[in-house]
Amino acid sequence: MPFIDIAFQADVSRYEDAEFEEFSRRNCDENLDTRDTAIEELRRLLKEKGECRPRRTDDAYLLRFLRCRRFIPALAHRLMVRYEDFRSKNPELYDCDAFGLQRVKDVFSCTLPDNPDNGRITIMRLGKWDMDNTPAEDLIRCALLLDEICAMQPRLQILGVTIVIDLKGLGLKHMRYLNLKIANQFASLLGVAFPLLLQGLHIINYNWLFNSILPMFKQFIPQAGWERIHFHSNLESLHKHIHPQYLPAEYGGHCKYLVTCKEWLSKIEKYKDDFMVQDLRDLGYRVK
């Protein structure tokens, strides 16, 4: 089987590979000797505080939140509260055909394989957004679906994700569709209210237009979040954070496997299992 198909199959796997134990200690402060204690403490906080009613409280689900909050139960609890609040306030983002979001086309892509330094590298090209055929809500829907599926995978819970936002081609026509609600939803998906470890957010090819809307996003991102956001005026600056071997040619790299969102979703649909189908349906997605 070609490597790329093996990678797609891995994205629907919930197998915890022993080789990631070291990365879990480094990235998440996960300790197998104390993991069960942390899970029970988080479960106790959920019950005693009663600030949210998560759809699941099994060990595997709680691990998603503990891993991206360095196994500190109190912080994982706060994240669960924010995540459930996001879901309750934005049910329309889940009310769609999960695998019908391929119409977003070239806006999102990712590089494979994942690497220990950056996790899954996802590229978002806002300049390729076709507003006439794709509403802004669908951009958020697609980003949310990518996050939800990645969060199901123990490997990516541990390695996390790195996001590159390419603003080349962003114009006034795009700006008309960006508002406070979109900014809030987008910020929520960048780790503010979502259980996925963000290794870094890198913004390239920005211009004065972006500077004009930056304050709109700033109000929704806490100070700690800004420590992971980097602005790059050239590729050399980007390469200080992401080695060229992990980047596609258009960003000065030589990664062979750049997968479009359309291709990724079609392959995930092909390899999806009953667990993934049920999990997506429980979230509110329509899945055939």
Answer whether residue 45 is part of any domain: no
Nearest to 182, CA basis, from 174, 167, 232, 228: 174
Answer whether residue 14 is part of any domain: no
Which DSSP symbol is given to 269? H
If residue 122 lies in a helix (H) or strand (E), which one and from where to where? strand 119-125
Answer whether residue 147 is part of any domain: yes
Answer whether residue 106 is part of any domain: yes
Question: Which residues make beta-bridge pairs with 111?
Answer: 121, 258
φ, ψ of residue 18 to 5 degrees: the values are -60, -25
pLDDT of residue 95: 96
Residue 80 tokens read as 């669960």
Contacts of 93 (CB under 8 A, 6+ apart): 137, 140, 141, 144, 185
pLDDT of residue 1: 60
pLDDT of residue 52: 95
Contacts of 213 (CB under 8 A, 6+ apart): 175, 178, 183
Q: Which domain holds residue 244?
A: 92-283
Number of domains the chain is built from: 1
pLDDT of residue 166: 95
Residue 234 tokens read as 């050239």
Spell out the per-residue pLDDT of the chain, length 288, in tens.
688 888 899 899 888 888 889 999 999 999 999 999 999 999 999 999 999 999 999 999 999 999 999 999 999 999 999 999 999 999 999 999 999 988 787 899 999 999 999 999 999 999 899 888 888 899 999 999 999 999 999 999 999 999 999 999 988 888 888 888 999 999 999 888 999 999 999 999 988 778 888 888 888 888 888 889 999 999 999 999 999 999 999 999 999 999 999 999 999 999 999 999 999 999 999 998
Answer whether residue 110 is part of any domain: yes
Answer whether residue 124 is part of any domain: yes
In this structure, what CATH number is given to the domain that contains residue 137? 3.40.525.10
Answer whether residue 11 is part of any domain: no
Which DSSP symbol is given to 33? T
pLDDT of residue 241: 97
Answer whether residue 67 is part of any domain: no
